[in-house]
Amino acid sequence: MIQLKPGLRPSSLAAKPGARGKGRGKKKNNGLRFERVFSDPKCAPFDQIEWEKRTAEITDDSGKVIFKQENIEVPKSWSA
């Protein structure tokens, strides 16, 4: 539980209108930028992977199928 100092009313803790962001200019935030390292800009990264269609299946302890998804594409290098 928060303990207030004597003489400090809870209403005085509320943010004052316009107080947030004061002193900031209208600078546009461009976000983070990353340089390309491992891929070629002329080729989409997922086009460089060999794909194959498989069936994904989740079973319980007795072998009963709980979830099944057929004809999904997965990287060929994934183990079966």
* Sign, CA torsion 34/39/41/46: negative
The reported pLDDT for the residue numbered 26 is 72
pTM here is 0.46
Q: Considering only residues 1 and 49, tell me which one the structure prediction assigns the higher pLDDT.
A: 49
Give the pLDDT mean for 60-77.
97
Q: What is the CA radius of gyration of the chain?
A: 28
In this predicted model, what pLDDT tens digit does every residue of 6-60 receive, in sequence order?
A: 766 666 555 666 555 555 667 778 899 999 898 889 999 899 999 999 999 999 9
The reported pLDDT for the residue numbered 3 is 67
Cα gap 71→67, rounded to integer Å: 14
